[in-house]
Structure formats: structure tokens, C-alpha cells
């Protein structure tokens, strides 16, 4: 299948939603071509509002629209949506539990050449900590396209984290996105990998290689980081000796933290966290950055071998 | 002091380097780099007190590229001035100091890390206040985009600069009337920007941002304004110097192909 970015799928899905739901309005902050929110103009230009380079204002305006009965989609890069407009999201959107869907693109280091100022590796942490906020991240375009109509149906604030980079599809056309439930991509044994976003594909590539070596990890796509499918996570954890989390986000406060918080309450066990290790990244090609910051399939293979190797010694 | 002809030659070299860097990186922002090239060339060659002996010191004039995406321009100006060691073609490459958006800790002569619009002008206000406190007579310069002026923070900075009577601060607004999604007037009209800054208590000088006499006179006039900050409101052409890029929003953040690069360099006078 062709490589497609999740933001592309967002634009496509949002067009469909706007076509069938007259209650949706869409806002952007001078990035509507990049986030793909601008695609809705082809369906109905009257419901699209470019707010200019003014993300804070955009979020509170979206809140006002939602307070007047609209379902407001607001898009920008993750850095300027979750980052620049953080307090507006917290106080204007989440506190009153308004129906604003923050659909951010260009998350993580796969932004590439623009560099650290544009590579948001903190947004899951920032959004997850806000009461009433849901945090979703599709693994590929197939999932993103199914996720957006479900987001329309959800009551209250939602943050959807998407990517700039076009990547391989993890899922085939038979995939059925189930809101709120972890997506088990492959059921193996011994080692359990929880991944989210673009890291699902990297982990999948890693697992394909590892199986050739006789290591068969279970791979789980966590598309809904909040509220986390605690039951699903604990059930899977009980069946495995080792757990690795991998995400294109800081190891502080993201998927790894969410999984660890869940397990420490329900089934205490150790968790190895892969992600950006509390550092700013830099300019470079996405694949070079994934390599340097140890988020590519090679790094995952190494980490699994390490964890698995230690296990053999223990036994 | 450099003559107008010398400045124009430097600006041409800088424009060529912008095109080469962005082409080589296959990404970056040519349009807004080209539109401010004449202003920044004048500023660094004839206005600011900055040279290799003082580049690492606070005891010199400083500049904040508030529109941080115009980093190719800043790097090319520093190179042309002989202040930059880095290979310009390492721009946006992994392990390079020439980040997509400038990082003040990686490059001597980059005075503030920028890239998130609206924040650089506030940092410039902070630097101007610090200079007042330290009785440092050096001046603070900043360059903003017109799309950038849509950020509320720009107006918070404008208010603070006038409130603290920062006559040591001179900001330039690159009024090329384009941003990413199109014309600034269609996306979110910020006009009339001159009157808005005046109402915020600034001294405003309106110029043609490609006319070297007007640029030089404006910086000179700003030095003599007392009790208020100055805004140089510069009418410019986005993509200036490369005809197929001029006045076209599509060239905001797109790299030329090798063929387009060649055509652009030819138009700028060979190589
Ligand atoms: C806070 C923030 N929001 C969005 C962006 C993405 N962005 C980069 S450049 C740009 C348009 C800038 O337009 P303008 O200020 O007019 O710059 P110029 O035309 O001089 O290049 C945008 C929206 C950003 N860098 N920072
Ligand atoms: Mg502009």
C-alpha cells in the first residue's frame, strides 16, 4: 500500500464529516494546507474559519462556537496547538468540557528539518494531564480515517495527535477501529510492546525481524492514550514477563507514563520506556532522526534483544 | 561604511546563498528570506556594531530574527560578513549547527533562538530593558513578519516596549502582504499596521524595503528618536530577486528543484 500521512487521512475524513454533519465548524491558524483542515473548503467554505497566526485566540473562539452548540475542529501544528495555546485549551475548552476537537499535525521529531522548535515531544503529556481531555493518536492513515468520524460522536474535548510524515500502513482495509480498546496487532509471548503513532510501524518492522530470530513479541497499538483501556493493558501485562513502551514523544509524561501509571496501580511490574530521552532533538531527515534518537526499528530490535537476553541470563 | 553598490553586491551574494541552501536542504523558507535581504544586509554591514572581535559579547548591537523561518537569510548574512564558520550547505542537516530555525547556543552571532512566531519581539523587549538597566548604549534590533503580527503576543510586546520607553529598540516589520495560507488581507487582515503601532506608542517610519537610501535613513532616524521604540514599516516583495518566486505565497516554505535553482541563480547574476 502507498505511504500516506495521518494528516492526509484527517483532511479526507473531515470532508466526509462536514458533508454529513451540518453542525461542524473548522478552524485553523494559517496552516490549513499543512494540517489538511483546509480540505473542507471544497465541501463548504462557509464553515471554515482561518484565524490567522493566533492559536490562543483560535482555541477560545472554538470554545465559544462549541458553547453555542457547534462541534468545533481546531487545527495547527502540535507545537502551536497544545503548546502555544495550552492555557486556553485548559481553561476555555476543557474546564467547561466543550465540544472542541483539537486535531494537531506535525507532532514528534518526524517533523524533520524544521528542527526542535517545531518538533513537539511534550503534547501527550500536556494534554493528558488536563481533566476532561481525551488523547488519541492514530498509527496510520487507515486508522485516522476511521477515528475522525468517531471523534465527532464523542462528547467533549478531544486531542488528536497526527504526523507530517507519510508512512507505511500498519493496518489493511479490513481493520475496524474500536474506540477505547487497545488494538492488538500481533499476539506473541514473553515480551509485550505498547506503541503509538508512527512507532507502531517501526515496532511492527522490528517484530517481523525478531520473529526470524525466534523472538515473538506481542505488539499492541495504543490509539487511545486517555482514557486508557486499563482492563486491556492489565490483561495483556499478566500474560507477559517484559513490557516495552515506544513512542515518538518524551519518555516523561507520554504513553510510557500512562502505561506505567496504570500498571503500578493494578499489576506492579517493570516497564522499559523508549522515547525521546528528555532532550531536544534537531534538524535532520526523519529517518536520520529516528536512528539518532533510537526510535527506529533497529533500536527497538536492540532493546528487545537486551531485555530478552537479560531474561535468559536470569533463568 | 559601505557604498550602496557594495551593499547591493553583498545582498546579491546573500540571495544566491539563500537559494543554494534551501535547494540543497530540499526544504526551508525562500520567500520571506528574500524579502528581508536588503534590510538585513544594510543592518549588518552599515548599522550594527558587530564584528569578529565582539561577536561573543553583549557589548555590541544585537538582532532578534523574530520571523525565525528566515534563518537562511540570517546565516547567509553572517557568512557574508565573515562571522560564520559553518558551511552554509550544512543548513538543516543532521548534526549541523545551522538548525532549520536559529538556535542561539549553536551559532555565534545568533542572538536569540526563534521559530515560534511572536516570541522574538518579546525577547527583544527584554534585551532592550536589560541594556537600559546595565547602562549599555548598544541597540536592539528585531525583524518581524506581517503574518506574525497576527499573534496577540506581538501587541503585548508592543505595549510593553512603549510603556518602558524603549528608544533603544528598533523593530522592522516585513510587510510583504503574504503568509502561508495566502494574502494577509484574506487570511486575517492585520492592516493598518502603521497606525496600530502608532496607537501603541511607537515611532513609525514607512519605507520601501528594497530602497537602500530609505532603509539607511530609517535606521538613522530611529537612532535619534527619544522616549519611544521605533517600527520601520517596510513594504517588500516576498521572493524579491527571483521573478518566479515574487509575490507568490507558494514559495513561502518550498525548496526549488535543481533546475529552478539554476534559473534563480542565473537571474541573480550567474553561478
Ligand atoms: C506560533 C507559530 N505559529 C505558526 C507557525 C508556522 N508558520 C511559520 S512561518 C508562518 C507564516 C509567517 O508569515 P509572515 O510572518 O508574514 O512571514 P514572511 O511572509 O515574512 O515569511 C507560519 C504560520 C509558527 N512558526 N509559529
Ligand atoms: Mg509576510
- Phi-psi region at B187: left, alpha or beta (left = phi > 0; alpha = psi -120 to 50): alpha
Say what the pLDDT of residue A186 is. 98
Mean pLDDT, residues A109-114: 98
Say what the pLDDT of residue B111 is. 98
CA of B66 to the centre of ligand 2 (A): 12
Let me know: does A202 contact A246? Beta carbons within 8 Å.
Answer: yes
- What grid cell was written down for A310? 537479560
Q: How many helices and strands, by DSSP H and E, does chain B display?
A: 10, 5
The string of pLDDT tens digits covering residues A187-240 is 999 899 999 999 999 999 999 999 999 999 999 999 999 999 999 999 999 999
- What grid cell was written down for A300? 527497538
Of B99, B100, B181, the CB nearest to A33: B181
Distance CA B9, CA B187 (A): 35
- What grid cell was written down for B261? 535553482
Let me know: does A65 contact A25? Beta carbons within 8 Å.
Answer: yes
Let me know: does A189 contact A304? Beta carbons within 8 Å.
Answer: no
Let me know: does B64 contact B120? Beta carbons within 8 Å.
Answer: yes
Three-class SS state of B10: helix
Q: What is the DSSP string of A182-241?
A: -EEEE--SSEEEEE-TTHHHHHHHHHHHHHHTT---EEEE--EEES--HHHHHHHHHT-S
Say what the pLDDT of residue A312 is. 61
Mean pLDDT, residues A58-73: 98
pLDDT surpasses 70 at B270: no
Let me know: does B96 contact B173? Beta carbons within 8 Å.
Answer: no
Say what the pLDDT of residue B185 is. 98
Say what the pLDDT of residue B148 is. 98
The string of pLDDT tens digits covering residues A116-162 is 999 999 999 999 999 999 999 999 999 999 999 999 999 999 999 99
Parse chain A into domains and list their residue ranges: 6-161, 183-310
* Atom 11 of ligand 1, nearest CA residue: B179
Question: From the centroid of its chain, how far is CA B257?
Answer: 25
Say what the pLDDT of residue A311 is. 64
Mean pLDDT of all residues in chain A? 97
Give kind and range of the element (H or E) at residue A28: strand A24-28
Q: What is the CATH number of the domain that holds B31?
A: 3.40.50.970
CA dihedral A187, A191, A192, A194 (to 10 degrees): -120
Does the predicted TM-score (pTM) go above 0.95?
A: yes
The string of pLDDT tens digits covering residues B64-76 is 999 999 999 999 9
- What grid cell was written down for A241? 514477563
Distance CA A282, CA A134 (A): 29
Residues of chain B with pLDDT > 70: what percent?
A: 99
- Phi-psi region at A283: left, alpha or beta (left = phi > 0; alpha = psi -120 to 50): beta
Mean pLDDT, residues B177-186: 98
CA dihedral A293, A141, B256, B98 (to 10 degrees): -20
The string of pLDDT tens digits covering residues A150-164 is 999 999 999 999 999
DSSP code, position B255 = P
Contact assignment for A31 to B101 by CB distance below 8 Å: no
pLDDT surpasses 60 at A313: no
Which residue of chain A comes nearest to B155, CA vs CA? A54
Contact assignment for B152 to A54 by CB distance below 8 Å: yes
Distance CA A256, CA A262 (A): 10
CA of A230 to the centre of ligand 1 (A): 41
Domain extent, residue B11, equals 4-267
Distance CA B268, CA A140 (A): 44
User: Which single residue is written with the C-alpha cell 537479560?
Assistant: A310
pLDDT surpasses 60 at A315: no
Q: Is B113 on the interface with A (CB under 8 A)?
A: yes
Three-class SS state of A303: helix
Top residue of A55, A60, A114 to mutate, by most chain B CBs within 10 Å, is A114
ipTM of model over 0.85: yes
pLDDT surpasses 50 at A102: yes
Strands B140-145 vs B169-175: parallel, antiparallel or unpaired:
parallel
CB atoms within 10 A of CB A155: 9
Say what the pLDDT of residue A2 is. 85
Say what the pLDDT of residue A309 is. 80
Let me know: does A170 contact A185? Beta carbons within 8 Å.
Answer: yes
Interior/surface letters A262-271, b for 16+ CB within 10 angstroms, e for the rest? bbeeeeebeb
Let me know: does B57 contact B76? Beta carbons within 8 Å.
Answer: no
Q: What is the CA radius of gyration of chain B?
A: 17
The string of pLDDT tens digits covering residues B222-253 is 999 999 999 999 999 999 999 999 999 999 99
**In sequence order, what are the beta bridge partners of A167?**
A4
Three-class SS state of A262: helix
Which pLDDT band holds residue B271 (cuts at 50, 70, 90)?
low
Distance CA A26, CA A87 (A): 20
Say what the pLDDT of residue A190 is. 85
pLDDT surpasses 70 at B62: yes
Rounded to 5, what percent of chain A is helix, strand, coil? 45, 20, 35
Q: Is B252 on the interface with A (CB under 8 A)?
A: no
Do A6-161 and A183-310 fold alike per CATH?
yes
pLDDT surpasses 60 at A314: no
Would you state the CATH architecture of domain A6-161?
3-Layer(aba) Sandwich (3.40)
Which fold is adopted by the domain A183-310? Rossmann fold (3.40.50)
Distance CA B252, CA B238 (A): 8
Q: How many residues does chain B have?
A: 271
Q: What is the total count of domains within chain B? A: 1
Which of A8, A55, A145, A202 is labelled catalytic? A55
CB of residue B28 inside a 6 A radius of ligand 1: no
Interior/surface letters A50-65, b for 16+ CB within 10 angstroms, e for the rest? bbbbbbbbbbbbbbeb
Amino acid at each position: 500500500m502507498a505511504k500516506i500521512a495521518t494528516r492526509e487521512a484527517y483532511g479526507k475524513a473531515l470532508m466526509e464529516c462536514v458533508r454529513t454533519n451540518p453542525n461542524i465548524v473548522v478552524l485553523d491558524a494559517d496552516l490549513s494546507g499543512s494540517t489538511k483542515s483546509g480540505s473542507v473548503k471544497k465541501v463548504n467554505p462557509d464553515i471554515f474559519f482561518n484565524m490567522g497566526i493566533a492559536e490562543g485566540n483560535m482555541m477560545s473562539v472554538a470554545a465559544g462556537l462549541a458553547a453555542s452548540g457547534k462541534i468545533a475542529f481546531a487545527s495547527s501544528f502540535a507545537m502551536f496547538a497544545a503548546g502555544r495555546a495550552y492555557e486556553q485549551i485548559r481553561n476555555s475548552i476543557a474546564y467547561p468540557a466543550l465540544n472542541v476537537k483539537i486535531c494537531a499535525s506535525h507532532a514528534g521529531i518526524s517533523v524533520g528539518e524544521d528542527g526542535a522548535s517545531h518538533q513537539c515531544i511534550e503534547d501527550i503529556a500536556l494534554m493528558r494531564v488536563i481533566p476532561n481531555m481525551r488523547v488519541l493518536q492514530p498509527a496510520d492513515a487507515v486508522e485516522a480515517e476511521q477515528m475522525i468520524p468517531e471523534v465527532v460522536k464523542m462528547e467533549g474535548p478531544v486531542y488528536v495527535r497526527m504526523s507530517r510524515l507519510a508512512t507505511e500502513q500498519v493496518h489493511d482495509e479490513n481493520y475496524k477501529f474500536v474506540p477505547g480498546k487497545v488494538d492488538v496487532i500481533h499476539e506473541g509471548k514473553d515480551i509485550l510492546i505498547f506503541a503509538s503513532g508512527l512507532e507502531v510501524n517501526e515496532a511492527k518492522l522490528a517484530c517481523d525481524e525478531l520473529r526470524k530470530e525466534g523472538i515473538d513479541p506481542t505488539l499492541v497499538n495504543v490509539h487511545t492514550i486517555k482514557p486508557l483501556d486499563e482492563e486491556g493493558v492489565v490483561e495483556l501485562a499478566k500474560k507477559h514477563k517484559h513490557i516495552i513502551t515506544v513512542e515518538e514523544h518524551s519518555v516523561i509524561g507520554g504513553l510510557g507514563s500512562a502505561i506505567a501509571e496504570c500498571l503500578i496501580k493494578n499489576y506492579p511490574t517493570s516497564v522499559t520506556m523508549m522515547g525521546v530521552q528528555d532532550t531536544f532533538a534537531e534538524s535532520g531527515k526523519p529517518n536520520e532522526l529516528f536512528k539518532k534518537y533510537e526510535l527506529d526499528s533497529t533500536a527497538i530490535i536492540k532493546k528487545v534483544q537486551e531485555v530478552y537476553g537479560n531474561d535468559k541470563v536470569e533463568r | 561604511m559601505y557604498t550602496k553598490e557594495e551593499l547591493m553586491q553583498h545582498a546579491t551574494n546573500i540571495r544566491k546563498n539563500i537559494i543554494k541552501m534551501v535547494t540543497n536542504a530540499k526544504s526551508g523558507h525562500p520567500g520571506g528570506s528574500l524579502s528581508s535581504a536588503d534590510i538585513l544586509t544594510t543592518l549588518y554591514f552599515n548599522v550594527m556594531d558587530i564584528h569578529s572581535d565582539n561577536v561573543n559579547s553583549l557589548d555590541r548591537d544585537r538582532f532578534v530574527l523574530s520571523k525565525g523561518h528566515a534563518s537562511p537569510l540570517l546565516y547567509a548574512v553572517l557568512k557574508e560578513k565573515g562571522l560564520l564558520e559553518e558551511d552554509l550547505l550544512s543548513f538543516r542537516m543532521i548534526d549541523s549547527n545551522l538548525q532549520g530555525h536559529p538556535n542561539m547556543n549553536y551559532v555565534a552571532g545568533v542572538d536569540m533562538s526563534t521559530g515560534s512566531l511572536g516570541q522574538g519581539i518579546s525577547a527583544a523587549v527584554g534585551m532592550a530593558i536589560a541594556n537600559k538597566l546595565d547602562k549599555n548604549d548598544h541597540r536592539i534590533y528585531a525583524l518581524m513578519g506581517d503574518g506574525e503580527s497576527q499573534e496577540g503576543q506581538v501587541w503585548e510586546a508592543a505595549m510593553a516596549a512603549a510603556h518602558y520607553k524603549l528608544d533603544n529598540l528598533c523593530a522592522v516589520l516585513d510587510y510583504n502582504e503574504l503568509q502561508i495560507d495566502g494574502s494577509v488581507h484574506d487570511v486575517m487582515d492585520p492592516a493598518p499596521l502603521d497606525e496600530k503601532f502608532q496607537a501603541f506608542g511607537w515611532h513609525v517610519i514607512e519605507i520601501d524595503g528594497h530602497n537602500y537610501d530609505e532603509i539607511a535613513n530609517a535606521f538613522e532616524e530611529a537612532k535619534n528618536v527619544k522616549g519611544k521604540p521605533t517600527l520601520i514599516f517596510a513594504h517588500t516583495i516576498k521572493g524579491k530577486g527571483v521573478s518566479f518566486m515574487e509575490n507568490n505565497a507558494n514559495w513561502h516554505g518550498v525548496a526549488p528543484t535543481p533546475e529552478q535553482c539554476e534559473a534563480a541563480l542565473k537571474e541573480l547574476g550567474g553561478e
